[in-house]
Amino acid sequence: MIRYAKKSDAAAIAPLVLVILEDMELPFVKKYGVKKTLALLEESVAIPDYRYGYERALVKEVDGKVAGVAYGYPASAEKNIDDPLIPLLAKFDIPNETRLFTDSETIDPEWYLDSISVSSEFRGQGIGGELLNALPMIAKRDGENIIGLSVDVNNPGAKRLYERNGFKTITQTMIAGHHYDHMQKLIG
């Protein structure tokens, strides 16, 4: 079943997001380490309007387990998407001005798929595709009719998945020192 995430999903969601942050080789993860980043991510799920807050996510649940997660937000929210995390940084001895992300990723207007991740236990079962197909539900809820995403140019398998699901490359961008294809899909 695909559903909106809940606060109680935090322990299952945080490791899935961490996989993406590590793949992106974010300086934040390198500086503060996996353990601290994971703990911060888990607590941040309870902050509804944060980038990785529960209100910004869909999860695929299989037999009572979170099998995958998709996070996103309207491009118009990007400027302030990480501000709700600032009060939590001090708890982890991280300076208030620190940000996980420093590069712009969205193209306005769009609902931006920030992250999509499937648990290793459930990979190869079509869960990523199911989450992609469910994105219009959350994008429309947020008032958007275009879904955008960034895919690493060195990940042709992911790009093919997005193309099969109707996404088209519109430009290239740089995020955390890596080249990405920015793709979009119009939803009805």
Arithmetic mean of pLDDT, 138-147: 97
Q: How does residue 181 score in pLDDT terms, banded at 50, 70 and 90?
A: very high
The three-point CA angle 184-158-80 to 5° equals 50
Average pLDDT, the chain: 96
Q: How many CB atoms lie within 10 A of CB 41?
A: 20
Between the two ends of the chain, the Cα-to-Cα distance in Å is 22
Give the three-class secondary structure for 64. coil
| C-alpha span between 41 and 44 (Å, rounded) | 5
| C-alpha span between 73 and 49 (Å, rounded) | 9
Overall domain count for the chain? 1
Q: Which residues contact 98 (CB under 8 A, 6 or more apart)?
A: 28, 89
pLDDT of the residue at 177: 87
Q: How does residue 58 score in pLDDT terms, banded at 50, 70 and 90?
A: very high
Arithmetic mean of pLDDT, 45-72: 97
User: Which structural domain range is residue 146 located in?
Assistant: 2-186
pLDDT of the residue at 52: 98
| C-alpha span between 25 and 123 (Å, rounded) | 22
The model's pTM: 0.94
Checking if the pLDDT of 24 tops 90, the result is no
Positions of E strands within the chain: 2-4, 57-62, 65-74, 111-118, 146-152, 168-175, 178-186
For the stretch 68-121, pLDDT in tens is 999 999 999 999 999 999 999 999 999 999 999 889 999 999 999 999 999 999
What CATH number did the domain enclosing 11 receive? 3.40.630.30
Q: Give Cα 139 to chain centroid, integer Å.
A: 13
User: CA–CA distance from 59 to each of 16, 54, 91, 157, 170 (Å)?
Assistant: 11, 10, 27, 22, 27
% the chain with pLDDT above 90? 93
pLDDT of the residue at 109: 96
Checking if the pLDDT of 176 tops 90, the result is no
Structure letter (DSSP) for residue 12: H
